[in-house]
């Protein structure tokens, strides 16, 4: 079986480095021009160059999203941006949904074009259109396409699918509720996630509230159980959603799916009992990071009411994200702490290969003084005897909702 690419989200440069360290073959990133995560940190041109240089060194790839829908007023900036990308930055591919932007990318660059899931490609004729008209090299199929249908489409062209992460209640993310509710264009990077809100259903005659519900709150996708089928369907790339999510999320999801892909591609035939135990452990690890209840999305069959959580839009997790290691030498390790925690608290280092290292320490500030309570967004020293390394993710075990 061909081993699919593992494609992870990278909302900033540190997440890019974490994704690569924890096993991603490629990452997708947003620049400062024309992506669908307007309020993410995104990459400056300098950071894009550094990220692509690092990827080339590691024999990995960086894909740049240009997946908004363009209006006439955007064209001049897009053309300028494309020329700069062609001449100076050169990502390994663009992710494009707008046919006009695709034409411009083809006209002004020779960089490969991947068709975004926002283009809602669901069948072989849609694939043929983008391949023949634009010369696209890959299509990211709509979330609504099952693995059974993917198999036929993958015979025509490289296919990429989402395997994990948040879902949208609209068709392939083409939603305009945010536009009407807040004046922010969801297809131009401004979505306020109106689908996550609680709505009242009224009796049109009496105007009384009949009930209240999160009627569009889609569960998160978890495709662990379908990785083997995706490999059999010749999927070229398995994609994890989440450019705006934490470093812990990137490290954990990347590490889990790396192991699962390798397991089914590299191992000899395993006993059913061992495979089930392996997948159960993978699912357990995914529970550690903040998420909504999981569903299988459209991987098996068309999504229905079971893919919506009606009672809440809240998240759950089995660990709290503390921070990541920025620097290590013979004198110790510098942790960039994102949360409040106390000395001698039980912490865990989540390391590549899904290795978990429990430890308890009394941290020091950069002047060497002991700290009893660590403040959020601070730098602290951890002792050198801990076997830690830069980009290790630090967490605390918890059952907190």
Domain extents for the chain? 5-169+220-296, 319-397
Average pLDDT (224-251) is: 95
| Predicted confidence (pLDDT) per residue in 33-53, tens digit | 775 555 557 899 999 999 999
* Torsion over CA: 287, 293, 298, 302 (sign): positive
Q: Report d(CA 300, CA 304) in Å as an integer.
A: 12
Q: Partners of 320 in the beta sheet?
A: 396
Same fold, 5-169+220-296 and 319-397: no
3-state secondary structure the chain: CCCCEEEEECCCHHHHHHHHHCCCCEEEEECCCCCCCCCCCCCCHHHHHHHHHHHHHHCCEEEEEECCCCCHHHHHHHHHHHHHHHHHHCCCEEEECCHHHHHHHHHHCCCCEEECHHHCCCCHHHHHHHHHHHCCCEEECCCCCCHHHHHHHCCCCEEEEEEEECCCCCHHHCCCHHHHHHCCCHHHCCCCCHHHCCEEEECCCCCCEEEEECCCCECEEECHHHHHHHHHCCCCEEEECCCCCCHHHHHHHHHHHHHHHHHHHHCCCCCHHHHHHHHHHHHHHHCCCCECCEECCCCCCCCCHHHECCCCCCCECCEEEEEEEEEEECCEEEEEECCCEECCCCEEEEEHHHEEEEECCCCECCCCCECCEECCCEEEEECCCCCCCCCCEEEEECCCC
Find the length of the chain: 401
Residue 128 has pLDDT above 90, yes or no: yes
**By percentage, how much of the chain surpasses pLDDT 90?**
67
**For residues 400 and 316, what is the distance between their CA atoms, to the nearest angstrom?**
7
Residue 399: predicted pLDDT: 46
For residues 71 and 290, what is the distance between their CA atoms, to the nearest angstrom?
36
pLDDT tens profile 297-351: 889 877 676 788 787 778 889 999 999 999 999 999 999 999 999 999 999 999 9
Architecture of the 5-169+220-296 domain: Alpha-Beta Barrel (3.20)
Quick one: 319-397 is in which CATH superfamily? Translation factors (2.40.30.10)
Tokens, residue 121: 């490609």
Give the residue from 235, 241, 282 showing the smallest Cα distance to 3.
235
- Quote the pTM value: 0.92
Judged against a pLDDT cut of 90, whether residue 253 lies above it is answered with yes
401, pLDDT greater than 50: no
């Amino acid at each position: 079986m061909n081993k699919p690419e593992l494609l992870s989200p990278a909302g900033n440069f540190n997440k890019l480095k974490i994704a690569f360290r924890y096993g991603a073959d490629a990452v997708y990133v947003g620049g400062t021009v024309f992506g669908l995560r307007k309020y993410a940190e995104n990459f400056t041109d300098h950071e894009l160059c550094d990220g692509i240089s690092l990827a080339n060194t590691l024999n990995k790839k960086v894909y740049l999203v240009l997946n908004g829908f363009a209006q006439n007023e955007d064209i001049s900036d897009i053309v300028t941006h494309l020329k700069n990308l062609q001449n100076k930055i050169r990502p390994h591919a663009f992710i494009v949904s707008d046919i006009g932007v695709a034409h411009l990318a083809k006209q002004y660059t020779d960089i490969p074009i991947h068709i975004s899931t926002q283009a809602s490609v669901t069948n072989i004729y849609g694939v043929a259109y983008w391949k023949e008209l634009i010369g696209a090299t890959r299509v990211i199929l709509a979330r609504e396409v099952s693995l059974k249908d993917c198999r036929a489409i993958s015979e025509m062209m490289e296919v990429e699918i989402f395997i994990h992460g948040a879902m949208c209640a609209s068709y392939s993310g083409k939603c305009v509720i945010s536009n009407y509710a807040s004046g922010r264009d969801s297809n131009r990077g401004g979505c306020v996630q109106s689908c996550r809100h609680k709505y009242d259903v009224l009796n049109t005659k009496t105007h009384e509230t009949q009930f209240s519900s999160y009627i569009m709150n889609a569960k998160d996708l978890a495709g662990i159980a379908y990785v083997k089928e995706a490999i059999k369907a010749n999927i070229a790339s398995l994609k994890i959603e989440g450019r705006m999510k934490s470093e812990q999320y990137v490290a954990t999801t990347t590490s889990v799916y790396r192991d699962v892909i390798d397991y089914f591609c590299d191992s000899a035939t395993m006993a059913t009992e061992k495979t089930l135990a392996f997948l159960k452990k993978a699912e357990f690890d995914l529970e550690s990071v903040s998420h909504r209840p999981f569903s299988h999305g459209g991987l098996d069959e068309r999504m229905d009411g079971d893919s919506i959580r009606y009672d809440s839009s809240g998240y759950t997790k089995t660990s709290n994200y503390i921070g990541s290691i920025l620097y290590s030498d013979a004198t110790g390790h510098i942790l960039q702490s994102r949360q409040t925690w106390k000395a001698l608290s039980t912490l865990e280092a989540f390391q590549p290969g899904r290795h978990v290292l429990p430890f308890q320490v009394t941290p020091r500030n950069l002047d060497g003084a002991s700290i009893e309570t660590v403040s959020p967004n601070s730098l602290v020293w951890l002792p050198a005897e801990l076997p830690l390394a830069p980009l290790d993710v630090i967490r605390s075990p918890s059952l907190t909702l």
